[in-house]
Structure 1
């Protein structure tokens, strides 16, 4: 279907194309100098000592959890309202994801009080998500982790360069932060991810496991820094390749300006929807909006039936939307039991179009259509 206003848009600038073509012309395609430079610059932006590039956000979560010591039977507290990758990564380690309810309609992120109530003798870590680009209550999460001796691995997939309530970048103050460079993300290269940390041992473990736990990689041997390699553990092929690293480097220089445009569009949405009956905008606080990096823009409607009707009528007008299920709604996680606040938010919300390439025209079209539908 051809959308008048798609959910998002990916604009590949000519400088991006040239950066990738230069990589192909050089002839070195697997993990090498461009990947290393992307890691260096990303670590600098986030404010950490180490950034390790991997093939996806899911790979980042998997390796960070393994490096944090998560293994068979270990319980990890995971938001019930988030993309499934975090819970799946826990299971990939042999662990047990314990789903935590949301705070509520005004803050769909993980509820630290519900998390505290679900800690057991088997709990080893907390995996909070910064949902839709808004930092969760990291101070409360870290306090809970300190109380029980838990590791904290942040799912920052939707929140690159967002700041917490103390002004620190997400992914900079916990054991590890995990980022995604998927096509819908704010820094997109198609597929890719990053693990950030100040823990040198954890970073070394992630670097090892991303490339079959080899003691040297192809780029080392190409430069004559190693003749062979040993295998130290059961590792994976979670490497980021050079063309995508080149694309990431090219786009990284525009990232903060892109985020500013997303923030401006979010503010325009908020102003245009203020006072509209039947519409609740979560995270309704100017300071939160300034700290967030706006993966998407969500509104909550009266109920499931209204949400579905609105989405259907917006689609008929060429406006694309989406919504994010609670994990308890999936067959593979149904045995976790109900998480009522997360399920209510999932049933009531829809994400409206948002992109750094959109502006006043798209806001006016979407809000005008929404007002007509709800009139």
Structure 2
């Protein structure tokens, strides 16, 4: 106990101390946690109801998202495109429609820090999913018309692909 006279670092580490201002902000946000989680869950349910039947999209975690015991915070809403080669086009189309998409998360074994932790070809499913995943907008303050705009843009994309 007490202060160490010297330090010897054997691996990367983190300092998770936060200042008083960020602590106060965090406490204020905690009071809204259940409400914000519920709002995001409602948006995710609307997305799922509209997107699940569409051809060309998969909803990962669909079974767990629709389970009565689901405790997800729905901080992200990922979808998998049927064809990885269309991801850039899909994201560009969505951007032109005013919808921001993201990619969460790249395959970790492709990061430079983790190069060599897996042999090439050892993680084919991870690589496939990482190339097909796109994250749709989802946040507690999202208005119904914004959510519907995302869904409309996806339906327009589907219609263009089918033509």
- The CA deviation at 1:352 is 0.3
Q: Tell me, in whole angstroms, the C-alpha distance in 1 between the residues paired with 2:149 and 2:111.
A: 33
Q: Tell me, in whole angstroms, the C-alpha distance in 1 between the residues paired with 2:143 and 2:68.
A: 21
Report the CA distance shift for 1:232/1:259 in structure 2 as closer, same or farther (over 3 A).
Answer: farther
Structure (1/2) with the larger helix percentage: 2
1:311 aligns with 2:99: no
Query: Which of 50, 65, 82 is matched with 1:272 structurally?
Result: 50
Query: Which of 231, 234, 249 is matched with 2:4 structurally?
Result: 231
1:250 aligns with 2:28: yes
Q: TM-score, normalised by structure 2?
A: 0.82
Checking the alignment, whether the CA contact within 8 Å between 1:283 and 1:289 is kept in structure 2 is: no
- Counterpart of 1:36? none
1:361 aligns with 2:142: no
SS of corresponding position for 2:135: strand
SS of corresponding position for 1:287: coil
Structure (1/2) with the larger strand percentage: 1
- The CA deviation at 1:358 is 0.5
Q: Equivalent residues in 2 for 1:1-375 (5 A)? A: 215=2, 230-231=3-4, 234=7, 238-285=16-63, 286-287=66-67, 290-323=70-103, 324-335=105-116, 336-337=118-119, 338=121, 339-375=123-159
Gaps of 5+ in 1: 1-213, 216-229
- The CA deviation at 1:233 is 6.3
SS of corresponding position for 1:319: coil
Q: Tell me, in whole angstroms, the C-alpha distance in 2 between the residues paired with 1:289 and 1:368.
A: 30
- Counterpart of 1:10? none
Q: CA RMSD in A?
A: 2.1
Report the CA distance shift for 1:331/1:270 in structure 2 as closer, same or farther (over 3 A).
Answer: same
SS of corresponding position for 1:275: coil
- The CA deviation at 1:287 is 1.1
Give per-residue Cα distances to partners, 1:100-147, cap 9 Å, x unaligned.
Answer: xxxxxxxxxxxxxxxxxxxxxxxxxxxxxxxxxxxxxxxxxxxxxxxx
Give per-residue Cα distances to partners, 1:47-80, cap 9 Å, x unaligned.
Answer: xxxxxxxxxxxxxxxxxxxxxxxxxxxxxxxxxx
SS of corresponding position for 1:293: coil
